[in-house]
Structure 1
């Protein structure tokens, strides 16, 4: 088989690219000493296979061991592929939430910003989100990816984005220490900031987590303001069970589109729920070929579960700027057939696992 041209790695999210060919080109890029990052070049000898010869497509990403724990300590400069040269634009360094230990770090380069933003923009437009509306995003910013994703989403739709920052790590520490009263005080602090904005600004799109939406629903003034002006709610961060999703969509915010978002730092983007789902249907998230691939497996064996069965979510991010293959997420989900044109699995009814490597998983406000 002739080598795949590296130019395929510059493909945008809506170009007609074969995912297997893209993966093969990515293996050449990331494991060639002239173009790969120090992170992967230093680890190539530890692999039990040769990625440039043995990874023939998406399915072979399962050959990789999960090395994401090493992202907790690796120097950031080691993550940037040499092939970008001295003119590389390192836009951001993002941390994971630190739910299961010290945060892991990834880099976001300029080309990936463009691909991720274009994908999310098209998905939001397909859901009919208003163009030019003002957003209020209540999400972690700073080292956290989600705040950046939401701010870029608002700008891509032509609207200003007001924001309220949150510190999920602090809330998780409080919960772990049994300091529930302080958690409640911090949540009050977030709600008060949202109240000031909602009472003085016309907000057309609200992005918030499930716990905050449930809290808003208990505040009559906020409920009135949201139902009076907000045309779409984007929820994510913490999971939303089917009963809560149905209740919020039909009883609490009946005239507002409710749109799920599933993403994390290791994906380096966010997935928006499948277009056209009813509130009483499972909330389905499709992968993003040729960059983000999902699989749902049995914990321990990593054998695929059957369609319609629940298992652990495995995520692989493959792009020119980053390679994060075969990452075992702290989520379970039901395996679903993907939308046409997408490789890998789709996932439905995402929920957190209770324990990861002996540590209890705490969701908190995000």
Structure 2
């Protein structure tokens, strides 16, 4: 079978798994009769995942025990419960299993064999956010130690929503202060942070110099970065430093790999871990895929034996690009929507 046929077979197997009372979670088994279709009979391929309604808001209140598939072996351990950033309301919760985290990180790291070794500084959220553990594993895979800075992105968003830009700015300066202390005293080769925080760090000349002198690779994630800013950072400010993006979502318990730019165009395209994680770029009105090269809303699917989150509408727009495997879509020019369900989206620093 080719990759597309294997992906379709995987989807069918996962429909049987998640909607069988013997193997599925309480949430999905009980939800089956209220979907308006039979997922086992009607979802036969990756494209059919669009049949699911966007149920992501229900995950704000579901007890996490109800999300754990009954068919998992007792040796499968819940590693953590991660939460979304809370940009569009109360956080949604997702169950991370140790085996899935290991599998996903092995896939991602396999695409970057030439990073070398060194220590990592993460100026990024931790706590209930997946990015904290992600940064630890990035450091571990590169033979170094992770240094980290405490960050509560929800507090920043709350300050911005209240119009208290002075307090929000002071909080970010506090983060930059801490990052500078680490960069001054430690041999940091890898910097993991978000574009807004990276921008604030580069505004301080002393921090900018430390990044230029020490950091070989910046991994940016958690918020969008436009191509003009990326080009300025990589060619003007830090020409000796490599930059790599990682786009993802807690809803799919994973990120992406940035496709190699073999032609040197500066193009940034993100590929997902298909068939376990796949994206679609759709027209927000019809919910049908747009043409390749057109912009639409990003829809994500997480389809593994560890959990099911299908047809999750993200708060991002992107240009649709053919995926490397032919499964789902790849994404270019990702940026957040200004409003969602009548609510203004505040990106903040994450």
Q: Report the TM-score range of the alignment, normalised by the length of the smaller protein.
A: over 0.9
Counterpart in 1 of 2:102? 114
Q: 1:51 to 1:263 in 2, by over 3 A?
A: same
> Pick from 144, 157, 179: which aligns with 2:164?
179
User: Normalising by structure 2, what TM-score?
Assistant: 0.96
CA distance in 2, matches of 1:113, 1:344: 21
2:115 to 129, 154, 157: 129
The match for 1:64 is: 52
Aligned pair partner of 1:351 in 316, 335, 339:
335
Report the counterpart of residue 333 of structure 1 in structure 2. Answer: 318
Secondary structure at the counterpart of residue 37 of structure 2: coil
Any gaps of 5 or more consecutive residues in structure 2?
A: none
Q: Describe how 1:7-26 pairs up with structure 2 within 5 A.
A: 18-26=6-14
Deviation at 1:149, TM superposition (A): 1.4
| Structure 1 position 61, deviation (Å) | 0.5
Task: Give the alignment partner of residue 75 of structure 1, picking from 63, 66, 74.
Answer: 63
SS of structure 1 residue aligned to 2:163: coil
Calculate the TM-score normalised by the size of structure 1: 0.92
Residues of 2 paired with 1:40 and 1:218: CA distance?
A: 48
RMSD of Structure 2 on Structure 1 (CA): 1.6
1:166 aligns with 2:151: yes
Output the CA distance in 2 between the equivalents of 1:111 and 1:235: 25
Note the 1:1-366 alignment, pairs <5 A: 18-125=6-113, 128-130=114-116, 132-276=117-261, 280-339=265-324, 341-366=325-350
**Residues in 2 aligned to 1:240 and 1:226: alpha-carbon distance in whole angstroms:** 18
- Measure the CA separation in 2 of the matches of 1:160 and 1:149: 13
Structure-2 change in CA distance of 1:17 and 1:54 (3 Å): closer
Distance (whole Å) between structure 1 residues aligned to residue 55 and residue 201 of structure 2: 39
For residue 133 of structure 2, give the secondary structure of its aligned residue in structure 1: helix
Displacement of 1:179:
0.1
Unaligned runs of 5+ in 1: 1-14
Stretches of 4+ aligned residues off by more than 2 angstroms = 85-88, 276-282
8 Å Cα contact 2:76-2:99 kept in structure 1 = no
The answer to whether the 8 Å contact 2:247/2:255 transfers is: yes
Query: What SS does the corresponding residue of 2:168 show, helix, strand or coil?
Result: helix
Distance between the aligned counterparts of 1:17 and 1:196, measured in 2?
A: 52
